[in-house]
Amino acid sequence: MAIRTDALTRREQILKEAARLFAERGFHGVGVDEIGAAVGISGPGLYRHFAGKDAMLAELLVGISEQLLTGGKRRSAEVAGNPEAVLDSLVEGHIDFALDDRPLITLHDRELDRLRDSDRKLVRQLQRQYVELWVQVVREVYPDLAEPAARAAVHAVFGLLNSTPHLGRPGSLPGRAGTAALLHRMARGAFEAAAVSAPG
Protein backbone atom coordinates (compact mmCIF):
# COMPACT_ATOMS: atom_id res chain seq x y z
CA MET A 1 0.00 0.00 0.00
CA ALA A 2 1.52 3.28 -1.05
CA ILE A 3 1.56 4.78 2.42
CA ARG A 4 1.71 8.56 2.65
CA THR A 5 4.96 9.97 3.99
CA ASP A 6 3.66 13.45 4.86
CA ALA A 7 1.24 12.65 7.66
CA LEU A 8 1.58 9.01 8.64
CA THR A 9 -0.65 7.86 11.46
CA ARG A 10 1.00 5.70 14.11
CA ARG A 11 -0.82 2.68 12.68
CA GLU A 12 0.51 3.43 9.18
CA GLN A 13 4.03 3.88 10.54
CA ILE A 14 3.82 0.48 12.20
CA LEU A 15 2.58 -1.18 9.00
CA LYS A 16 5.25 0.48 6.89
CA GLU A 17 8.08 -0.65 9.16
CA ALA A 18 6.56 -4.11 9.62
CA ALA A 19 6.43 -4.56 5.84
CA ARG A 20 10.04 -3.48 5.47
CA LEU A 21 11.30 -5.72 8.27
CA PHE A 22 9.22 -8.74 7.25
CA ALA A 23 10.49 -8.40 3.67
CA GLU A 24 14.11 -8.06 4.77
CA ARG A 25 14.25 -10.82 7.38
CA GLY A 26 11.13 -12.92 7.01
CA PHE A 27 7.99 -12.95 9.14
CA HIS A 28 9.46 -15.25 11.80
CA GLY A 29 12.76 -13.39 11.79
CA VAL A 30 11.23 -10.21 13.20
CA GLY A 31 10.00 -9.67 16.73
CA VAL A 32 7.34 -7.31 17.98
CA ASP A 33 9.98 -5.42 19.95
CA GLU A 34 11.95 -4.71 16.76
CA ILE A 35 8.89 -3.35 14.97
CA GLY A 36 8.16 -1.17 17.97
CA ALA A 37 11.73 0.12 18.09
CA ALA A 38 11.53 1.06 14.40
CA VAL A 39 8.63 3.42 15.14
CA GLY A 40 9.81 4.60 18.55
CA ILE A 41 7.43 2.71 20.83
CA SER A 42 7.78 -0.34 23.04
CA GLY A 43 6.92 -3.74 21.63
CA PRO A 44 3.96 -4.14 24.01
CA GLY A 45 2.76 -0.71 22.88
CA LEU A 46 2.07 -2.21 19.47
CA TYR A 47 -0.78 -4.19 20.97
CA ARG A 48 -2.75 -0.97 21.33
CA HIS A 49 -2.87 -0.91 17.53
CA PHE A 50 -2.70 -4.58 16.47
CA ALA A 51 -3.48 -7.92 18.08
CA GLY A 52 -0.06 -9.16 16.96
CA LYS A 53 2.21 -9.83 13.99
CA ASP A 54 -0.41 -12.01 12.29
CA ALA A 55 -2.85 -9.10 12.30
CA MET A 56 -0.21 -6.80 10.79
CA LEU A 57 0.54 -9.28 8.01
CA ALA A 58 -3.14 -9.72 7.24
CA GLU A 59 -3.77 -5.99 7.08
CA LEU A 60 -0.77 -5.48 4.81
CA LEU A 61 -1.68 -8.20 2.30
CA VAL A 62 -5.44 -7.73 2.32
CA GLY A 63 -4.96 -3.97 2.29
CA ILE A 64 -2.76 -3.85 -0.81
CA SER A 65 -5.11 -6.19 -2.69
CA GLU A 66 -8.03 -3.92 -1.84
CA GLN A 67 -6.05 -0.85 -2.83
CA LEU A 68 -5.03 -2.26 -6.21
CA LEU A 69 -8.61 -3.25 -7.05
CA THR A 70 -10.09 0.05 -5.88
CA GLY A 71 -7.43 2.03 -7.74
CA GLY A 72 -7.94 -0.03 -10.88
CA LYS A 73 -11.68 0.59 -10.84
CA ARG A 74 -11.14 4.31 -10.28
CA ARG A 75 -8.65 4.57 -13.11
CA SER A 76 -10.99 2.68 -15.42
CA ALA A 77 -13.85 5.03 -14.59
CA GLU A 78 -11.75 8.16 -15.09
CA VAL A 79 -11.08 7.39 -18.76
CA ALA A 80 -14.08 5.16 -19.47
CA GLY A 81 -14.86 4.77 -23.16
CA ASN A 82 -11.21 4.89 -24.20
CA PRO A 83 -9.78 1.35 -23.77
CA GLU A 84 -6.24 2.38 -24.80
CA ALA A 85 -6.22 5.12 -22.16
CA VAL A 86 -7.69 2.75 -19.57
CA LEU A 87 -4.99 0.16 -20.22
CA ASP A 88 -2.24 2.76 -20.03
CA SER A 89 -3.68 4.05 -16.76
CA LEU A 90 -3.91 0.54 -15.29
CA VAL A 91 -0.29 -0.10 -16.25
CA GLU A 92 0.79 3.21 -14.71
CA GLY A 93 -1.05 2.45 -11.49
CA HIS A 94 0.49 -0.98 -11.15
CA ILE A 95 3.94 0.43 -11.88
CA ASP A 96 3.46 2.95 -9.06
CA PHE A 97 2.72 0.03 -6.75
CA ALA A 98 5.63 -2.02 -8.06
CA LEU A 99 8.13 0.81 -7.57
CA ASP A 100 6.80 2.26 -4.31
CA ASP A 101 5.75 -0.89 -2.45
CA ARG A 102 8.50 -3.38 -3.19
CA PRO A 103 8.49 -4.85 0.34
CA LEU A 104 4.83 -5.84 -0.10
CA ILE A 105 5.65 -7.76 -3.29
CA THR A 106 8.31 -9.72 -1.41
CA LEU A 107 5.95 -10.19 1.51
CA HIS A 108 3.18 -11.53 -0.70
CA ASP A 109 5.51 -13.99 -2.42
CA ARG A 110 6.97 -15.32 0.83
CA GLU A 111 4.28 -15.03 3.46
CA LEU A 112 0.81 -15.31 1.87
CA ASP A 113 0.43 -18.89 3.10
CA ARG A 114 0.87 -17.68 6.69
CA LEU A 115 -2.47 -15.86 6.62
CA ARG A 116 -5.58 -17.38 8.14
CA ASP A 117 -7.68 -19.23 5.56
CA SER A 118 -10.33 -16.50 5.55
CA ASP A 119 -7.79 -13.73 4.95
CA ARG A 120 -5.95 -15.71 2.28
CA LYS A 121 -9.21 -16.43 0.47
CA LEU A 122 -10.10 -12.74 0.61
CA VAL A 123 -6.73 -11.81 -0.90
CA ARG A 124 -7.25 -14.34 -3.70
CA GLN A 125 -10.79 -13.11 -4.34
CA LEU A 126 -9.63 -9.49 -4.60
CA GLN A 127 -6.76 -10.50 -6.87
CA ARG A 128 -9.09 -12.41 -9.20
CA GLN A 129 -11.32 -9.35 -9.52
CA TYR A 130 -8.28 -7.22 -10.28
CA VAL A 131 -7.11 -9.65 -12.97
CA GLU A 132 -10.56 -9.75 -14.57
CA LEU A 133 -10.65 -5.95 -14.68
CA TRP A 134 -7.44 -6.04 -16.71
CA VAL A 135 -8.58 -8.93 -18.91
CA GLN A 136 -11.69 -7.04 -19.94
CA VAL A 137 -9.69 -3.96 -20.92
CA VAL A 138 -6.99 -5.96 -22.72
CA ARG A 139 -9.64 -7.70 -24.82
CA GLU A 140 -11.19 -4.34 -25.70
CA VAL A 141 -7.81 -3.08 -26.90
CA TYR A 142 -6.91 -6.38 -28.62
CA PRO A 143 -10.25 -7.94 -29.68
CA ASP A 144 -8.54 -10.83 -31.53
CA LEU A 145 -6.97 -12.02 -28.29
CA ALA A 146 -8.98 -14.92 -26.85
CA GLU A 147 -9.93 -14.71 -23.19
CA PRO A 148 -7.54 -17.45 -21.97
CA ALA A 149 -4.64 -15.83 -23.84
CA ALA A 150 -5.57 -12.39 -22.50
CA ARG A 151 -5.65 -13.74 -18.95
CA ALA A 152 -2.28 -15.43 -19.42
CA ALA A 153 -0.85 -12.19 -20.82
CA VAL A 154 -2.16 -10.21 -17.84
CA HIS A 155 -0.53 -12.62 -15.39
CA ALA A 156 2.71 -12.46 -17.38
CA VAL A 157 2.70 -8.66 -17.28
CA PHE A 158 2.08 -8.73 -13.53
CA GLY A 159 5.11 -11.00 -13.23
CA LEU A 160 7.15 -8.51 -15.24
CA LEU A 161 6.04 -5.49 -13.24
CA ASN A 162 6.29 -7.28 -9.90
CA SER A 163 9.92 -8.15 -10.58
CA THR A 164 11.00 -4.78 -9.13
CA PRO A 165 12.37 -6.23 -5.87
CA HIS A 166 14.94 -8.05 -8.02
CA LEU A 167 16.02 -5.12 -10.20
CA GLY A 168 19.02 -4.26 -8.06
CA ARG A 169 19.83 -1.33 -5.86
CA PRO A 170 18.08 1.96 -6.63
CA GLY A 171 21.36 3.60 -7.64
CA SER A 172 21.88 1.01 -10.37
CA LEU A 173 18.56 1.82 -12.06
CA PRO A 174 17.83 4.67 -14.49
CA GLY A 175 15.90 6.65 -11.85
CA ARG A 176 12.25 6.28 -10.92
CA ALA A 177 10.86 8.08 -13.97
CA GLY A 178 13.14 6.19 -16.33
CA THR A 179 12.37 2.86 -14.72
CA ALA A 180 8.63 3.57 -14.83
CA ALA A 181 8.82 4.48 -18.51
CA LEU A 182 10.83 1.34 -19.27
CA LEU A 183 8.37 -0.90 -17.43
CA HIS A 184 5.47 0.76 -19.22
CA ARG A 185 6.99 0.14 -22.64
CA MET A 186 7.75 -3.46 -21.74
CA ALA A 187 4.24 -4.10 -20.43
CA ARG A 188 2.55 -2.67 -23.51
CA GLY A 189 5.07 -4.52 -25.69
CA ALA A 190 4.12 -7.79 -24.02
CA PHE A 191 0.44 -7.23 -24.77
CA GLU A 192 1.28 -6.29 -28.36
CA ALA A 193 3.30 -9.47 -28.74
CA ALA A 194 0.48 -11.57 -27.33
CA ALA A 195 -1.97 -10.01 -29.78
CA VAL A 196 0.36 -10.46 -32.76
CA SER A 197 0.73 -14.16 -32.02
CA ALA A 198 -3.02 -14.63 -31.59
CA PRO A 199 -4.69 -16.62 -34.40
CA GLY A 200 -6.41 -14.27 -36.82
Phi, psi of 117 (to 5 degrees): -55, -40
Query: What are the DSSP calls for the chain, one per residue?
Result: ----SSS--HHHHHHHHHHHHHHHH-GGG--HHHHHHHHTS-TGGGGGT-SSHHHHHHHHHHHHHHHHHHHHHHHHHHTTT-HHHHHHHHHHHHHHHHHH-HHHHHHHHHHGGGS-HHHHHHHHHHHHHHHHHHHHHHHHHSTTS-HHHHHHHHHHHHHHHTTGGGS--GGGSS-HHHHHHHHHHHHHHHHHHHHHHS--
- In this prediction, residues 1-17 reach a mean pLDDT of 73
**Mean pLDDT of the chain, nearest integer:** 92
| pTM strictly above 0.85 | yes
Res. 31 pLDDT band, cuts 50 70 90? very high
> What amino acid is encoded at 26 in this protein?
G
* Of 148, 143, 160, residue with least CA distance to 83: 143
Among 44-48, 79-83, 132-136, where is mean pLDDT lowest? Answer: 44-48
Res. 71 pLDDT band, cuts 50 70 90? very high
- In this prediction, residues 83-106 reach a mean pLDDT of 96
C-alpha angle with apex 16: 118 to 164, nearest 5 degrees?
Answer: 85
- Do 175 and 124 meet the contact criterion of CB atoms below 8 Å apart? no
Tens of pLDDT, residues 121-167: 999 999 999 999 999 999 999 999 999 999 999 999 999 999 998 88
